[in-house]
Amino acid sequence: MSKRPYERPYLRKLNAGLGNKFGTRHSQLPVTEIDGVPVASIMEEYGSPCFVLSEQTIRQTYRNAVRAFGTRYPKVQMAWSYKTNYLNAVCRIFHEEGSWAEVVSIFEYRKALGNGVPGHQILFNGPDKSADDLRFAVQNGSLIHIDHLDELYQLSEILANEDLKARVALRINMDTGVYPLWDRFGFNYENGSAWTAVTKVMAQSRMQLAGLHCHIGTYMLSSQAYAVAANKLCDLALEIRNQYQHRIEYLDLGGGFASGNTLKGSYLQGSDVIPTMDDYAEAISGAILQHPFGMSGELPTLFLESGRALIDDAGYLLGTVLALKRLGDGRRATIMDFGVNLLFTSFWYEHRISPAQDYSSHHEDMVLYGPLCMNIDVVRENVSLPLLQKGDRVVVHRVGAYNMTQWMQFIQMRPNVVLIDTRGKVHLIRRREDVQTLNNQELIPDYLEAVKGS
């Protein structure tokens, strides 16, 4: 018998559609309005693509979080996480609701000041604070959250040279049972670095250790991880009280509460699996209240820096179908006028996408591409949608967090952003960019001034 020719094995990806226990097909109603404003009218006036923010949803979500924590713990203070969405109009809504500011760079710090936040209501986090940044923040009376020893020593030098005093907190990282550990920021609890940092701050006559801070991760699906974190911060605070007779004024549990988005590869919809604000509040407040801080006047204030959970649901991206095609393997591909340049979060979320007009009952699994001439520009690798046609409009849901800060100015410029106020009036809050926006930042050396394309 002759030897049969070798054929090399290969792996082929199966496109099984959105299989889950509810079946593969899912219908949805078209989304033709946001807060009572027709999607079509927004796109006619402000173009496509266009980001839309709902003030009503921002305020409702914020108030729900304040209610969840405020009914369980007597002293709660929110600090809006600027990097999540630092459009000034958005920040001002949070500040009007009573939120302080949590910033991680001097650029965000200045934005917060510009939004009317007094220096003493700014929490300054992050690993990158220059000597000038620290000096400026201390002079403004802000709370400096120290990330590493080099920052501590630099701050010490500034305070001594300039005869200043600073209110500081230490960022602590820890094992909360959720892996991988977020241990690159702050001082580790388990290996003793956190206590070493405490001893160093307590030895500084110009630093007042006001708080202990942690931010244990993001999109945390376990509310119990927060109970573990709160327990560890409380133990540290009480150890400081025992050893130094020094009272820690506040515990900052950071952010990380999940929004209703669905993570890639998740079996169930995000909104079905995430803990509620009440779950997070119960875990954190329950843990703190079990520690012997004394009467309520002695309890540390609880700071929260929630970002995505407070803004994601309030954001929409409106877009238009540019073209359709069949891929080599037969799949339908729909090319949109927005891609990963605007939807950074599509790298880890399966964003819900709704048609913005009536459609026939036929659905098909398809790939959704963006407009960039780059292979990475995939918004959804496999989504079951009605047979969208060129010119059809869509609404992408839950895009309020991190997209309007991490958006890329790459191939396409950033689009208009509008806010629908609580009375249904639409306001432009960030103008679309154009070639002039780019050129404004560029300089041509003299010897290239005269060059003209041949």
Ligand X SMILES: Cc1ncc(COP(=O)(O)O)c(C=O)c1O
Among 72, 308, 351, 430, binds ligand X (CB under 6 A): 308
Listed ranges 15-23, 37-45, 303-311, 332-340: which one lies at the site for ligand X (CB under 6 A): 303-311
Beta strands in 20-95 (DSSP E): 33-34, 37-38, 50-54, 76-81
Beta strands in 147-203 (DSSP E): 166-173, 187-188
* By the rule CB under 6 A, 84 interacts with ligand X: yes
User: With respect to ligand X, which residue has the nearer C-beta, 105 or 140?
Assistant: 105
Residue from 51, 22, 9 nearest 268 by CA: 22
User: With respect to ligand X, which residue has the nearer C-beta, 127 or 294?
Assistant: 127
Question: What is the token pair recorded at 269?
Answer: 């919809």
* By the rule CB under 6 A, 48 interacts with ligand X: no
Total chain residues near ligand X (CB under 6 A): 16
DSSP 3-state of 339: coil
User: With respect to ligand X, which residue has the nearer C-beta, 31 or 309?
Assistant: 309
* By the rule CB under 6 A, 173 interacts with ligand X: no
Cα separation, 387 vs 254, whole angstroms: 43
* By the rule CB under 6 A, 262 interacts with ligand X: no
- Cβ 83 to ligand X shortest distance, Å: 6
Among 31, 72, 73, 102, binds ligand X (CB under 6 A): 102
User: With respect to ligand X, which residue has the nearer C-beta, 84 or 231?
Assistant: 84
* By the rule CB under 6 A, 218 interacts with ligand X: yes
Sequence-distant (6+) residues with CB within 8 A of 135 are: 158, 162, 164
Positions 334 through 393 that interact with ligand X (CB under 6 A): none
Among 119, 186, 256, 415, binds ligand X (CB under 6 A): 256
Among 255, 339, 371, 415, binds ligand X (CB under 6 A): 255
Sequence-distant (6+) residues with CB within 8 A of 5 are: none
* By the rule CB under 6 A, 307 interacts with ligand X: yes
Among 48, 57, 61, 81, binds ligand X (CB under 6 A): 81
Omega before residue 49 within 30° of 0, cis: yes
Positions 103 through 162 that interact with ligand X (CB under 6 A): 125
CA angle 401-305-145, nearest 5°? 125
> What single-letter DSSP state applies at residue 409?
-
Among 82, 109, 257, 369, binds ligand X (CB under 6 A): 257
- Are the C-beta atoms of 393 and 356 separated by less than 8 Å? yes
- Cβ 372 to ligand X shortest distance, Å: 26
* By the rule CB under 6 A, 306 interacts with ligand X: yes
Cα separation, 17 vs 337, whole angstroms: 24
Question: What is the token pair recorded at 415?
Answer: 């689009």
- Burial status of residue 381 (CB atoms within 10 A of its CB: 0-12, 13-18, 19 or more): middle
Where does this chain bind ligand X (CB under 6 A)? 81, 84, 102, 125, 215, 218, 254-257, 305-309, 401
